[in-house]
Amino acid sequence: MPITELLERNAAKYGQETALVEINPEITEPQRVTWNEYELIQPTSDAPYRREITWSVFDEKANRCANLLLNRGIRKGQKVGILLMNGLEWLPIYFGILKCGAIAVPLNFRYTSEEIDYCVRLADIDVLFFGPSFVGRIESIAGSLSKECLLFYVGDSCPSFAEDYQHWVANFSSIAPKINISDDDLAAIYFSSGTTGFPKAILHKHRALSQSAEMEAMHHETTHDDVFLCIPPLYHTGAKMHWFGSLYTGGKAVLLKGNTPKSILQAVSDEECTIVWLLVPWAQDILAALDSGEVKLKDYKLDRWRLMHIGAQPVPPSLIKHWRQYFPDHKYDTNYGLSESTGPGCVHLGLENIDKVGAIGVPGYNWEAKIINEDGSTVQQGEVGELCVKGPGVMVEYYKNPHATKETIVDGWLLTGDMARQDDDGYIWLVDRKKDVVISGGENIYPVQIEAFLSSHPKIHDVAVIGTPDPRLGEIATAIIQLKKDAQCSEDDINQFCMELPRYKRPRKIIFADVPRNATGKIEKPKLREKYSGDRLVEKQNLG
């Protein structure tokens, strides 16, 4: 079924139950509840900013948005962009776009003005919704942008170059428009992370979105009684497709602005969350805060929290071992995926496979996977090759980029660009990104393996390994190490610790510095290469 039917079903079945909660711990304000689309204020003291809406209101807001877009001439197949921070407005606008038959195009909130302009033109966006955080960026390109698309501002104090969304949308019907939408209709464009230049536009059908919702619920045994805590940005397939599990079951979800250990644990405690998706840095921060005594588990009510899962990057086994010392009863899952595969889950560990931590797991619900050589043939079990996946969530194409599409989808198989191996039990282990492999003196070195090893050092908070130029070996493995707060550690200490590694895997260079990560928790290795080995970055970009 189209993904919009899940929202309509929830509105009919669970209309007066809470669908979404927004919490901002950085703001203290009276708590707000939207009831029949009117906001009621509940006086509180010293409570974080909190709003909530029911499934019925969620659906009504989406319908008003859809009817507004139809009134402005948006028709089936046209593109509508979203540039908003997480909040209660985000998902109703997303579903309003889908309900009028248009294609939703979420944009990364970190995009510069230049990148916003590029993506609007690449995706042929006809309407762009944007929020207060982006006024400056949009204003600088509004002159040219307004010729391409209609600008709707979502927030207070609408700038002169845009139209006030909240003012206009209130005038439209809350009844769903009669637009025929099928599984095979186009639904969304998501942008790649753009690690080698400007991002590519990834086109998906409704079928892909619906399968990701069912898959999420299946993988994590999600029920109507579960409460999902969503922290990462909704523009990303990871956050949204994990929330789709709540959409599929009609359960409550909490959108938390902020990712400090205290804010996460407080939200889990106050909202009785049962499922939490964390990125590696946030899990590390929680553990560091618990180790130091900065936060104490006894101060929170966490008895309903049953599942912690991680995605977006390889997970050091030492991290999960440490986690289970504090949370021995938690179930755990690792989720692997790409925006090209409708986000997480095409491969996943599985709740029952805690003994295989470190692996990304087995093919997900309704998915297949294989590992291939450069010539496209399947490798022998245990050998390293490129991971390929096949299933109902594979993208239609890279929009307006047939060459890249042809290189990435071969006979229905999506080539992920990730190097992997399969163990004797059939579990897939991620080795590294194909483009990140360091070739040193003819040896292939996979940074992820070194990063996982170094992550077990008690004084290391975060680590990234990149290749840097070397006149003799071509390039060498260089470790950028971010120490824990107040920790003291020398290069000699790290070299001694690495004696357990095979000689060729030991980092030849150690740099103590912060490890940059993007909004979805992935290490920003292009930035590190540019800083520490600019020549190699240019070379890799030229190679594609």
DSSP state letters, 360-405: -BEE-TT-EEEEE-TTSPBPPTT--EEEEEESTT--SEETT-HHHH
DSSP 517: B
User: At the topology level of CATH, where does 3-15+37-218 sit?
Assistant: Rossmann fold (3.40.50)
Rounded Cα distance, 307 and 276, in Å: 6
Q: Around 356, how many Cα atoms within 13 Å sit in the side-chain half-sphere?
A: 21
Rounded Cα distance, 268 and 272, in Å: 5
Predicted confidence pLDDT, tens digits, the chain (544 residues) = 899 999 999 999 999 999 999 999 887 665 555 555 555 555 555 677 899 999 999 999 999 999 999 999 999 999 999 999 999 999 999 999 999 999 999 998 988 898 899 999 999 999 999 999 999 999 999 988 878 799 999 999 999 999 999 999 999 999 999 999 999 999 999 998 654 457 899 999 999 999 999 999 999 999 999 999 999 899 988 889 999 999 999 999 999 998 899 999 999 999 999 999 998 878 989 999 999 999 999 999 999 999 999 876 667 788 899 999 999 999 999 998 989 999 888 999 999 888 888 899 999 999 999 999 989 999 999 998 999 999 999 999 999 999 999 999 999 999 998 889 999 999 999 876 767 778 776 567 878 778 888 988 989 999 989 888 877 677 888 999 999 888 999 999 999 999 888 787 889 899 999 988 876 667 887 788 878 875 443 333 322 2
Rounded Cα distance, 470 and 477, in Å: 10
Q: Where are the domains of the chain?
A: 3-15+37-218, 443-543
User: 38: helix, coil or strand?
Assistant: strand
Number of residues written out for the chain? 544
Residue tagged 């594609």 (tokens): 544
Residue 175's φ and ψ, nearest 5 degrees, are: -90, 135
Rounded Cα distance, 507 and 473, in Å: 13
- The CA–CA distances, whole Å, from 497 to 383, 479, 512 equal 28, 13, 15
Radius of gyration of the chain (CA): 23
Rounded Cα distance, 424 and 447, in Å: 23
Q: Which CATH number fits domain 443-543: 3.40.50.1860, 1.10.3720.10, 3.30.499.10, 3.30.300.30?
A: 3.30.300.30
Angle between helix 55-71 and helix 90-99 axes, rounded to 10 deg: 50
Report the run of H or E that residue 136 belongs to, with start and end.
helix 135-139
Picking from 235, 232, 269, 274, the residue whose alpha carbon sits closest to that of residue 251 is 274
Rounded to the nearest 10°, the torsion over CA 274, 350, 204, 236 is 50
Rounded Cα distance, 507 and 445, in Å: 10
Check if the beta carbon of residue 295 is closer than 8 Å to that of residue 263. Answer: no
Neighbour count for residue 541 (Cβ, 10 Å): 14
